[in-house]
Amino acid sequence: MEMSEEIAKERIAKRIAQEFRLTTNRLFLNLGVGIPTMVADYVNNANVFVQAENGMLGVGPLAKSDEEDWQLINAGRQMVTMTKGCSFFDSSVSFGMIRGGHVDATVLGAFEVDEAGNIANWIIPNGKQLGVGGAMDLVSGANRVIVAIQHQDKKGKSKIKKSCALPITGFHEADLIITEYAVFAYEDGGLVLKEIAPEVTLEDIRMMTEAAYKVSATVKTMNVA
Amino acid sequence: MKKVIQIMSCEEAIKSIAPHSRVMVGGFGLRGYPEDLVDALAASGIGDLTIISNDLGSPGIGLGKLLTNNQIKGLEGNYYNWNPEVAAAYNEGKIKVNLLPQGTFAEGIRAAGAGIPAFYTLASVGTELAKGKETRTFGDKEYVLEYALPGDVALLKAEKADELGNLVYCKSARNFNPIMAMAAKYVIVEVGEIVAAGELDPECIVTPHMFVDVLVLKGR
């Protein structure tokens, strides 16, 4: 399978946005850095309120050059805008929201995810980085955890593993895994393939996925528009 | 009881920091940290400090200067990926690092300010960051015990103060500043402006002056 990284990421972000597009209740959403940040561009629903863990509810789109306010950033240090009704609060309130179960969903990127729903996204132990961020709080505190991940690494190896090899961020925390080729839900203790992209077959997914999974009886074609 | 609020220069304010102090510094990703105070601390050369902060700026920028100057003995914080010199110094055994999930870090500071010695959280259970830590089961879930993170001195940033020391902040520059104001024994705040008491709307004051000792005006 060949797809440029840019197109893959855009497709993943668009498909994740569909999870939130129809809500008529207020939905509180935390977005990690990378693909998750792109999700906000496609949600198009005024009932979805984006929370940034550095202390902001009502994060708007990334700031254009004439809107830049250097004291207004998201957790990835990107300059952002405010939506109407935006509020600011300190870091303990922010993580009270997260740990207290008030955040409906979090979307995060990952290095690996596995068939037990374990997520590895905080460190590659090569001695070059030392940081954890809010990911461990988010995966354990948010009501729904959506993993945005390219199906394979640059060498074509599956990032949806039997068992994560990298240090774990949270155990049994993934609820939904969305790649450029497939959607998996974590149900009854295992992965279930729910959707596949229009250009791939069930056999293609089997070939590119290391983790064991069941195929849903109602497996659908992924909406990639 | 506390002394009336003192307004002083950064250089004077920094004299309250002794070597081996636990110094809390507000800020997240170079926003909402007290730039002038950090510069003064770097210029002072005071060493063997434990810095309690979300991150350590960037290499040679903000708190990064303290590492470049070898003023740091230990770090307690959350995210040093913006400053790779931290991992390098840690690997060489030059500094100790207590790396905590961001919510645990925030709650540790809040707890210190609120008289809570320790607390349980779900974050990090079973992971490398929970190794050697006590756990306890509540209901059907296992939680990890984490301790309060008190400071000797806090160096903070606020948008504006009144002459009593009440504080208001600006947007995402608020971050850890309000909770650090409660968690350190001696609190120095760098502000852009000082107005007369009564000029700040009481409904909008975020940090009451009870938690503040010294104000410094940015750019003085």
Average pLDDT of chain A? Answer: 96
| Structure confidence at residue A2 (pLDDT) | 76
Q: How many CB pairs under 8 A join A and B?
A: 139
Tell me which chain B residues have a C-beta less than 8 angstroms from the C-beta of A69. Answer: 171
B37 pLDDT tier (thresholds 50, 70, 90): very high
List C-alpha distances in Å: A106 to A53, A148, B61, B88, B160.
11, 10, 31, 31, 34
Average pLDDT of chain B? Answer: 97
Q: Cite the DSSP H helix spans in chain B.
A: 10-14, 35-44, 64-68, 85-91, 102-114, 177-183
pLDDT, tens digit, for every residue of B115-171?
999 999 999 999 999 999 999 999 999 999 999 999 999 999 999 999 999 999 999
Q: What is the DSSP letter of A157?
A: -
B window 107-166, beta carbon within 8 A of A: 107, 109-110, 121-129
Average pLDDT over residues B201-215: 98
A96 token code pair: 């009270």
Is the pLDDT score of B83 beyond 70? Answer: yes
Is the pLDDT score of A1 beyond 90? Answer: no
pLDDT, tens digit, for every residue of A162-220?
999 999 999 999 999 999 999 999 999 999 999 999 999 999 999 999 999 999 999 99
pLDDT, tens digit, for every residue of A111-122?
999 999 999 999
pLDDT, tens digit, for every residue of A122-131?
999 988 999 9
- Residues B210-213: contacts with CB within 8 Å, 24+ apart? B210/B2, B211/B113, B211/B181, B211/B182, B211/B187, B212/B5, B212/B161, B212/B165, B212/B166, B212/B167, B212/B181, B212/B187, B213/B2, B213/B3, B213/B5, B213/B6, B213/B165, B213/B186, B213/B187, B213/B188
* Helices and strands of chain B, counted as H and E runs: 6, 12
Rounded to a whole number of angstroms, the distance from the CA of B8 to the nearest CA of chain A is 25
- B173 has a chain A CB within 8 A of its CB: yes
- C-alpha triplet A12, A13, A18: angle, nearest 5°: 100
Could you tell me the sign of the dihedral formed by the alpha carbons of B162, A75, B65, B53, in that order?
positive
Residue A3, class by beta-carbon neighbours within 10 Å (0-12 exposed, 13-18 middle, 19+ buried)? middle
CA B172, CA A72: separation in Å to the nearest integer?
A: 5
Is the pLDDT score of A141 beyond 90? Answer: yes
Is residue B155 classed as helix, strand or coil in its secondary structure?
Answer: strand
- B211 has a chain A CB within 8 A of its CB: no
Rounded to a whole number of angstroms, the distance from the CA of B106 to the nearest CA of chain A is 5
A window 89-108, beta carbon within 8 A of B: 89-92, 94-95, 98-99
Q: What is the DSSP letter of A224?
A: -
pLDDT, tens digit, for every residue of A32-67?
988 999 998 899 999 999 999 999 999 999 999 999
The size of chain B, in residues, is 220
Could you tell me the sign of the dihedral formed by the alpha carbons of A39, A108, A102, B176, in that order?
negative
Please list the residues that pair with B143 across neighbouring strands.
B136
Catalytic residues of A: 53
Among all residues of chain A, which has the CA nearest to that of B32? A71
Say whether pTM exceeds 0.90. Answer: yes
Tell me which chain B residues have a C-beta less than 8 angstroms from the C-beta of A70. Answer: 31
